[in-house]
C-alpha cells in the first residue's frame, strides 16, 4: 500500500516537472523568435530609430511593418505625438520682486530628426530632464527679468509670447517643436499684492475726485453762463425802455381802461358835496 502511494507521487512529480520544462522552453522560444524575428512593427504616432551594433542609423522607420536584420539591428520606438509638460519655479522681475510662476508646455519631437535627437539626447524621458525643464526655467527667468512686476501683470500676453519665442529657438536646436506655451499663474509676495491693492484704491479715489471736480467745474460754468445770459437780457431790456416807449405804454393802458368801462360813473360821495347821478 505504502509502495503504491510512493510510485503515484513520483509519477505526479515527473509530470509536473515535464509541464514546467515545456512552459519554460515555450517562453524561451518566444523570446528567441521575437529577438531573431526579421520584422518589426512601428505603431501609430511613433518612429523607429535603428541602431546597428549600437550605432545610430540616419534611417528613420515610419509607421507600419519593416524588415530588419536580427541581432545586428535594434529598433527603438520613439513617440512623436504631442507631449505635455508642466512646472513651476521662482524668478525675479526687473524691480527685483520675487515671482512664483506656473507654466505649461506642449511639444513634440520632429519626426524627421528623431534619430539625431535620440543619438544626442536619448528618449522622451531624457529629453524632458535634459532639455525641456532647464530650457523652460531659463526662458522664464530671462524674460521676466526684462519687466517690472506690474508690467508682468499688465503685459501678460507679451510676456507669454516672448517666452514662447525663446523656447522655439532653444528647443528647435535639439529637434523639438513647440506646439503651445502658456503661463498659467503669476504669484507675488503678500506685501507686493497689498501695495498693488493700495495703489489701485488710490488711483480709483483720484479718478473719482477728478470726475467730481470736473462735474463741479461744469456746473459752475453752467451757472455763470446762465447768469451772464440773464444779465445780458436785462441790459437789452433796459436799452429798449425809452420815453417814447413809456408814453406809448401809458396810452395803451388808458385805451384798455376805456374798453373795459361800461359808461356808468361811480356813485360815490366824497366830503360834503355829493356827485350827481347822471344815470337818472
Q: pLDDT tens-digit profile of 69-125? A: 888 899 999 999 999 988 888 888 898 888 889 999 999 999 999 999 999 999 999
pLDDT of residue 263: 62
268 within some domain: no
Domain count, the chain: 2
Same domain, 45 and 136: no
Q: Which domain holds residue 12?
A: 2-79
Same domain, 49 and 115: no
Same domain, 87 and 148: yes
Which of 135, 129, 172, 105 shows the shortest CA–CA distance to 143?
135
pLDDT of residue 70: 87
Mark which of 79, 114, 144 sits at the end of a domain. 79
51 beta partners: 56, 74
Q: Which position has the grid cell 508642466?
A: 86
Same domain, 180 and 108: yes
Same domain, 128 and 53: no
In this structure, what CATH number is given to the domain that contains residue 163?
3.30.479.30
163 within some domain: yes
pLDDT of residue 141: 93
pLDDT of residue 185: 84
275 within some domain: no
Same domain, 55 and 104: no
The rounded distance, in Å, linking the Cα atoms of 107 and 180 is 7
Mark which of 57, 79, 101 sits at the end of a domain. 79
pLDDT of residue 13: 59
Render each residue's pLDDT in the chain as its tens digit; 280 residues.
545 555 555 655 566 676 666 676 666 555 555 555 788 999 999 999 999 998 999 889 999 999 998 888 999 999 999 999 888 888 888 988 888 899 999 999 999 999 999 999 999 999 999 999 999 999 999 999 999 988 888 899 999 999 999 999 999 999 999 999 999 888 887 777 676 677 777 777 777 777 777 878 787 778 777 777 777 766 666 656 667 666 767 777 777 766 666 666 566 555 555 544 444 4
254 within some domain: no
Mark which of 140, 171, 188 sits at the end of a domain. 188
Largest CA distance in the chain: 183
Same domain, 178 and 113: yes
61 within some domain: yes
pLDDT of residue 279: 46
150 within some domain: yes
pLDDT of residue 25: 64
Lookup: cell for 38: 526579421
167 within some domain: yes
**Please, what is the Cα angle at 140 between 116 and 114, to 5 degrees?**
10
Amino acid at each position: 500500500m505504502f509502495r503504491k502511494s510512493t510510485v503515484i507521487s513520483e509519477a505526479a512529480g515527473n509530470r509536473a516537472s515535464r509541464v514546467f520544462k515545456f512552459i519554460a522552453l515555450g517562453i524561451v522560444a518566444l523570446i528567441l523568435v521575437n529577438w531573431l524575428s526579421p520584422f518589426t512593427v512601428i505603431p501609430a504616432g511613433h518612429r523607429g530609430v535603428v541602431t546597428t551594433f549600437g550605432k545610430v542609423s540616419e534611417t528613420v522607420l515610419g509607421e507600419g511593418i519593416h524588415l530588419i536584420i536580427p541581432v545586428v539591428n535594434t529598433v527603438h520606438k520613439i513617440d512623436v505625438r504631442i507631449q505635455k509638460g508642466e512646472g513651476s519655479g521662482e524668478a525675479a522681475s526687473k524691480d527685483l520682486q520675487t515671482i512664483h510662476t506656473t507654466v505649461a508646455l506642449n511639444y513634440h519631437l520632429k519626426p524627421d530628426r528623431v534619430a539625431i535627437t535620440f543619438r544626442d539626447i536619448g528618449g522622451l524621458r531624457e529629453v524632458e530632464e535634459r532639455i525641456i525643464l532647464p530650457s523652460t526655467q531659463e526662458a522664464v527667468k530671462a524674460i521676466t527679468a526684462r519687466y517690472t512686476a506690474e508690467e508682468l501683470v499688465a503685459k501678460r500676453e507679451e510676456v507669454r509670447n516672448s517666452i514662447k519665442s525663446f523656447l522655439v529657438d532653444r528647443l528647435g536646436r535639439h529637434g523639438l517643436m513647440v506646439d503651445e506655451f502658456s503661463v498659467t499663474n503669476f504669484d507675488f509676495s503678500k506685501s507686493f499684492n497689498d501695495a498693488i491693492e493700495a495703489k489701485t484704491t488710490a488711483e480709483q479715489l483720484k479718478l473719482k475726485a477728478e470726475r467730481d471736480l470736473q462735474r463741479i467745474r461744469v456746473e459752475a460754468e453752467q451757472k455763470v453762463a446762465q447768469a451772464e445770459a440773464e444779465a445780458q437780457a436785462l441790459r437789452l431790456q433796459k436799452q429798449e425802455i425809452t420815453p417814447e416807449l413809456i408814453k406809448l405804454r401809458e396810452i395803451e393802458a388808458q385805451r384798455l381802461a376805456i374798453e373795459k368801462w361800461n359808461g356808468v360813473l361811480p356813485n360815490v360821495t366824497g366830503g360834503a358835496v355829493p356827485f350827481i347821478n347822471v344815470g337818472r
